[in-house]
């Protein structure tokens, strides 16, 4: 970094989440209304856009970021690489929490008229999903 500054405007998504997380090696994850951008401090152009509907984010002590979208989970590694879970919910989560490496909560399933909320747990280390409303997708 040469000490210069720049100002950026980020296109916002449709959620209320707006924040910035510092990653490794002068990288940052910018969340603008749920739209996620991996940025380098040395460039004003995004390196990548890992998630477009982030509603909730957890930062682990390891530096990993766990992003909860509308249907799945995205994990951003400290070096900026990322991966997505398979689809866990048809459309939305509630009561989401993170304990250790386990993300759990309720996922929405379109059944019986108004739908139902199905419990799930997802281990971000082993990538094992238990429950959820989109089995096998």
* Position 135 in a domain: yes
- How far CA 101 is from CA of 7, 19, 43, 59, 66, in Å, comes to 35, 22, 32, 11, 10
**1 and 67 co-located in one domain:** yes
- Are residues 27 and 77 located together in one domain of the fold? yes
134 domain residue, yes or no: yes
CB 129 within 8 A of CB 85: yes
Q: Supply the pLDDT for residue 2.
A: 60
**130 pairs with which residues across the strands?**
121
CATH number at residue 23: 2.40.10
Q: Are residues 22 and 69 in the same domain?
A: yes
CA distance 43 to 72: 29
**Are residues 6 and 72 located together in one domain of the fold?**
yes
Do 78 and 21 share a structural domain? yes
80 and 113 assigned to the same domain: no
104 and 66 together in one domain: no
CA 131 to chain centre: 19
State the pTM of this model: 0.91
Same structural domain for residues 133 and 102? yes
Q: Which domain holds residue 50?
A: 1-84
For the stretch 40-74, pLDDT in tens is 988 889 999 999 999 999 999 999 999 999 999 99
Spatial neighbors of 132 by CB under 8 A, at least 6 apart, are 88, 89, 107, 118, 120, 122
Q: Give yes or no: residues 10 and 36 share one domain.
A: yes
**Can you give the pLDDT at residue 111?**
78
How many distinct structural domains can be found in the chain?
A: 2
Q: Please indicate, yes or no, whether residues 12 and 59 belong to a single structural domain of this protein.
A: yes
Low-confidence residues in the chain, pLDDT < 70: 1-4, 6, 135-137
């Amino acid at each position: 970094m040469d000490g210069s500054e720049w100002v950026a405007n980020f296109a916002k998504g449709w959620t209320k989440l707006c924040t910035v997380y510092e990653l490794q090696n002068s990288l940052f994850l910018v969340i603008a209304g749920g739209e996620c951008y991996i940025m380098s401090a040395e460039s004003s152009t995004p390196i990548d856009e890992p998630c477009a509907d982030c509603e909730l984010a957890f930062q682990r002590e390891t530096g990993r970021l766990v992003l909860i979208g509308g249907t799945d989970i995205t994990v951003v590694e400290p070096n900026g690489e990322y991966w997505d879970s398979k689809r866990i919910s048809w459309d939305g989560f509630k009561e989401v929490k993170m304990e250790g490496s386990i993300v759990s909560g309720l996922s929405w399933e379109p059944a019986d008229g108004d739908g139902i909320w199905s419990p799930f747990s997802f281990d971000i280390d082993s990538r094992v999903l238990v429950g959820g409303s989109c089995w096998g997708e």
